[in-house]
Amino acid sequence: MTVSESDRVKADQIKGEANKLFSEKRFPEAIEKYTAAIELNPTVAVYYTNRAFCHLKLESYGYAITDAEEALKIDPTLTKANYRRASANMALGKFKEALKDLRVVSKRAPGDKDAKAKLDECSKIVKRIEFEKAIEHDDRTPSIAETLDPSSITVESSYDGPRIDLEQDGELQITQDFVTQMIERFKNQKKIHKKYAFMIIFAVYKMMMEAPSLIDVSVPEKGILTVCGDVHGQFYDFINIFETNGYPSDTHAYLFNGDFVDRGSFSVEVILTLFAYKWLYPDRLYLARGNHETDNMNKVYGFEGEVKAKFSDMMFKLFSEAFNALPLAHVIGHKILVVHGGLFSKDDVTLDDIRKINRLGQRQPGTEGLMCELLWSDPQPEPGRGASKRGVGIQFGPDVTKNFLERNNLDMLIRSHEVKENGYVIEHDGKCVTVFSAPNYCDTVGNKGAYINITPDIKLDYVTFEHVPHPQVRPMQYASQFSGLLGM
């Protein structure tokens, strides 16, 4: 197409303004500027790749892929566009697609050691996934949970931490004293013995295997239920919730709505604390699966590397089996649906459909279907449905929310999955609430965290909080080579 010289000059000027906004980490405003430059001159591929980088920063991976592909239509030799698309596909756990682009990048820049390292790592991941798939349904390969006997693990006499012992009836049972001591150890960056870590995971795995995909929750009589969103391995902010709002107890229930791990580098401490409280108070601590309680995300965003560094590969595999067994949704007081992501690509979904999801057979959520959409979808202000900015799940409007709630005799939807400046946002005529509980997300975003306290008469109180200091360990400390690829 023909673009006037004045429009070219103006577009390039706006791109400069966008670049400045990007350097200041004002990504939404930078996107607006890049978009304005594209509208004036849609023939410049770098405008699209720059906007794609902004989308990567905002975790809008679907939009980043679209921009990278537009750039490649304009200039098929623009290596940066292949790199951006590889970044987005890697973020989504689409390793085969990412591998194609990384091969192109490495071929065009054979001397780029960083690109070569990322290509090699991606190739290893793809080969490993193919091997794991090949043995997944092999009856000769039993699960870790079926073969593990934590009681047979020896505790060295030099271990000075808390212990889980047999009760008088011969059953293993965790105690409040153990959990309290464990938390103090974690605050001091010490571990518990692997025997007790395995015991905690195994106990929760057995509970979850018997749980339905949708769990009905009631608020404790004369107490409260606190709903928390993503905590993403930010252990010190996570513990701050308990210290300021109250620890789980018979009168204080908690529901953590997915994304306990990844990104933050204290994910092991977060998940072991949550699992320990689940074992201690099975009817007062509820856990829902998020999109980061999945193998592909854990490979990229740090949890797999962290578990292997602090414990072992076997422990990560047991965590993976426990995550596969996590419930997908909760209904509070028969009136509030709580899911990690959101609603569905079709209109006729009922609570019974959610209850019937065979999460144990499916294991990983895949890229379509009810389980995927529960974990990945996001609300949008426009009516109807839209393509997901993330590249997985859908975006759903206020009419979709209203129709779903009316069909299922519900009052509102609580979900998480998205960082919010003030920790929470109320949308869709008050019917859809997003709550996010990781303040100053990844040590860079500067957002507040939030949680929701719910009383027995189903009244909601929104509480926001700031981040607290933590040891000098950077986010994604244990992530793969791809942390650099993702712009972290």
Bridging pattern class, strands 336-338 and 412-415:
parallel
Q: Report pLDDT digits (tens) over 429-445.
A: 999 999 999 999 999 99
Helix 267-280 × helix 235-245 angle, to 10°: 40
Nearest in space to 271 (alpha carbons), one of 315, 227, 313:
315
| Ramachandran region, residue 433 (left: φ > 0; alpha: ψ -120 to 50; beta: rest) | beta
Q: Report pLDDT digits (tens) over 408-424.
A: 999 999 999 999 999 99
Q: Is the predicted pLDDT of residue 290 greater than 60, yes or no?
A: yes
Q: Give the CA radius of gyration of the chain.
A: 23
pTM of the model: 0.90
Which pLDDT does position 488 carry in this prediction? 44
Do 100 and 215 sit in the same domain of this protein?
no
Q: Are 36 and 14 in contact (CB under 8 A)?
A: yes
CATH number at residue 130: 1.25.40.10
Residue with tokens 């969103």: 229
CATH number at residue 296: 3.60.21.10
Count other Cβ atoms within 10 Å, centred on residue 376: 23
Do 110 and 185 sit in the same domain of this protein?
no
Do 115 and 187 sit in the same domain of this protein?
no
Q: DSSP H helical segments within 159-302, as ranges? A: 176-187, 194-209, 235-245, 267-280, 295-301
Domain that includes residue 24, residue range: 5-136
HSE value, Cβ hemisphere, 13 Å, CA-based, for 393: 26
Count other Cβ atoms within 10 Å, centred on residue 351: 18
Report the C-alpha gap between 345 and 395 in whole angstroms. 9
Nearest in space to 476 (alpha carbons), one of 275, 364, 309, 314:
309
Tell me, yes or no, whether 304 lies in a domain: yes
Q: Report pLDDT digits (tens) over 92-103.
A: 888 899 999 999
Do 182 and 124 sit in the same domain of this protein?
no
Query: Which candidate in 292, 330, 340, 467 is catalytic?
Result: 292
Q: Is the predicted pLDDT of residue 484 greater than 60, yes or no?
A: no
* Cα-based torsion angle of the residue sequence 193, 265, 121, 484 in order, rounded to the nearest 10 degrees: -170
| Amino acid (1-letter code) at residue 165 | D
Q: Which region among 112-126, 210-224, 297-311, 373-387 has the lowest average model confidence (pLDDT)?
A: 112-126
Do 121 and 206 sit in the same domain of this protein?
no
Do 260 and 188 sit in the same domain of this protein?
yes
Tell me, yes or no, whether 155 lies in a domain: no
Tell me, yes or no, whether 340 lies in a domain: yes
The DSSP line for 354-411 is HHT--HHHH-S--SSSHHHHHHH-EE-SSSSEEE-TTSSSEEE-HHHHHHHHHHTT-S
Do 65 and 126 sit in the same domain of this protein?
yes
User: At which of 136, 162, 192 does a domain end?
Assistant: 136
Do 80 and 130 sit in the same domain of this protein?
yes
Count other Cβ atoms within 10 Å, centred on residue 52: 30
Q: Are 48 and 70 in contact (CB under 8 A)?
A: yes
| Ramachandran region, residue 397 (left: φ > 0; alpha: ψ -120 to 50; beta: rest) | beta
Q: How far is CA 439 from the centre of its chain?
A: 15
User: At which of 113, 136, 159 does a domain end?
Assistant: 136
Q: Which region among 160-174, 286-300, 466-480 has the lowest average model confidence (pLDDT)?
A: 160-174
Tell me, yes or no, whether 127 lies in a domain: yes
Nearest in space to 213 (alpha carbons), one of 104, 325, 292:
325
Do 132 and 192 sit in the same domain of this protein?
no
Count of domains observed in the chain: 2
Distance in angstroms between the alpha carbons of the first and the last residue of the chain:
36
Give me the chain's average pLDDT, please. Answer: 93
Tell me, yes or no, whether 151 lies in a domain: no
Provide the token pair at 11: 């577009």
User: At which of 104, 136, 168 does a domain end?
Assistant: 136
Query: Which element (helix H / strand E) includes 227?
Result: strand 224-228
168 or 279, greater pLDDT: 279
Tell me, yes or no, whether 279 lies in a domain: yes
Strands annotated E in 28-151: none
The DSSP bridge partners found for residue 394 are 387
Helix 5-23 × helix 45-57 angle, to 10°: 20
Report the C-alpha gap between 416 and 384 in whole angstroms. 20
Tell me, yes or no, whether 199 lies in a domain: yes
Do 128 and 215 sit in the same domain of this protein?
no
Tell me, yes or no, whether 34 lies in a domain: yes
Q: Report pLDDT digits (tens) over 444-456.
A: 999 999 999 999 9
Q: What would the mean pLDDT of 384-401 be, rounded to a whole number?
A: 96
Report the C-alpha gap between 418 and 450 in whole angstroms. 12
Sheet arrangement for strand 378-379: 378-379, 394-396, 385-387
Report the C-alpha gap between 251 and 271 in whole angstroms. 22
Catalytic residue list contains 232 = no
Nearest in space to 261 (alpha carbons), one of 250, 270, 249, 274:
270
Do 126 and 189 sit in the same domain of this protein?
no
Report the C-alpha gap between 290 and 1 in whole angstroms. 45
Nearest in space to 432 (alpha carbons), one of 387, 379, 482:
379
Do 97 and 241 sit in the same domain of this protein?
no
